[in-house]
Amino acid sequence: MIPSVSSLPRSAHRPRPEATPYVDLTRAQWSALREKTPLPLTAEEVERLRGLGDVIDLDEVRDIYLPLSRLLNLYVGATDGLRGALNTFLGEKGSQSGTPFVIGVAGSVAVGKSTVARLLRALLSRWPEHPRVELVTTDGFLLPTKELQEKGLMARKGFPESYDRRALTRFVADIKAGKDEVTAPVYSHLIYDRVPGKRLTVRRPDILIVEGLNVLQPALPGKDGRTRVGLADYFDFSVYVDARAEDIEGWYLNRFRRLRETAFQDPSSYFRKYTQVSEEEALEYARTIWRTVNKVNLLENVAPTRGRATLVVRKGADHKVQKLSLRKL
């Protein structure tokens, strides 16, 4: 006799927990994982590293970023061990020398990913195993303003199609391959464009951090339909900085307000015109940009890559990290 649904034990009615590739950790659980890792930064150093409008202090560094630096140090060591195992398997022929450990940091405009990247650079460089840590943002690989205008992409600046994705991928591939010296274009937020003739030089770092909106985007298929190697394929670890879109909008507007009082005042600033109108008019412009550009990019391109990250760092409305999700091995 088949039992009726009503006669089954109560536990049988409960839906099974959804399978997930992540381990979810509360702030307290994550903080405990730092163990005895010392805090190498002072309050003054943290203040210099944080972005405009980003709320971060020594407690946040101790609770969130110290455990992350410890985890990354373990990953770097494990990668070196795996490389040694592979060399043993291959024998002397084809043995690999050490190559840089590459970390991607992704997230929306104004979510605080630049601060995260700078903190990681500062913390990771204090570990004796890997003192040479370089940070590169993808802004330098945005197409020049003139080219964006010619292609009608100025309103899509920051979207995947506004970057020289091939050059960006080649840049990271060359570093990963162990080239002695690799250069990248330099971007200026003041003039809102690449700086003509200026290049950033990276020389065989132990760790490279690549920060940008769309660094976790999968590769686009080529004209022949074949799948190409993408930027994220070179990452050994990746971090996605997450928050509610409504909270990010508030942070974006607050940052715009602060920039209007400071950097936008520079006569050479691309955005100086927004200091010549009332604050309400300037903020209405910022709201429009958020609604028609940044939020659209977040929802269509950036947020869908969250599931590709090794670690998702979830912020609350106060900019404090509330929860972390670490991908299982």
- Summarize the annotated binding site as residue ranges: 107-114
Measured CA to CA, the distance from residue 121 to residue 132 in angstroms comes to 9
* Contacts (Cβ under 8 Å, ≥6 apart) of 255: 51, 52, 53, 110
CA distance readout (Å), 124 to 47, 75, 150, 235, 328: 18, 12, 41, 16, 22
**Nearest CA among 155, 329, 135, 308 for reference residue 238:** 308
Tokens of 53: 């409008």
User: Are β-strands 207-211 and 237-242 bridged in parallel, bridged antiparallel, or unpaired?
Assistant: unpaired
Helix (H) or strand (E) run with residue 69 in it:
helix 66-90
Q: What is the phi/psi pair of residue 276, to 5°?
A: -95, 0
Q: Which residue has the tokens 């690449």?
A: 194
Any bridge partners for residue 142, and if so which? Answer: 163
Structure tokens at 75: 């990953």
**Rounded distance, CA 136 to CA 104, Å?**
10
Cα–chain-centroid distance for residue 110?
12
66-90 and 113-124 helices, crossing angle to 10°: 60
> Is the CB of residue 171 less than 8 Å from the CB of residue 313?
no
The C-alpha atoms of residue 274 and residue 240 are separated, in whole angstroms, by: 31
Measured distance CA(232)–CA(79) in Å, rounded: 17
**Residue ranges at the known binding site for ATP:** 107-114
Q: Which two tokens stand for residue 108?
A: 């929306």
Angle CA(252)–CA(254)–CA(256) in degrees, nearest 5?
A: 70
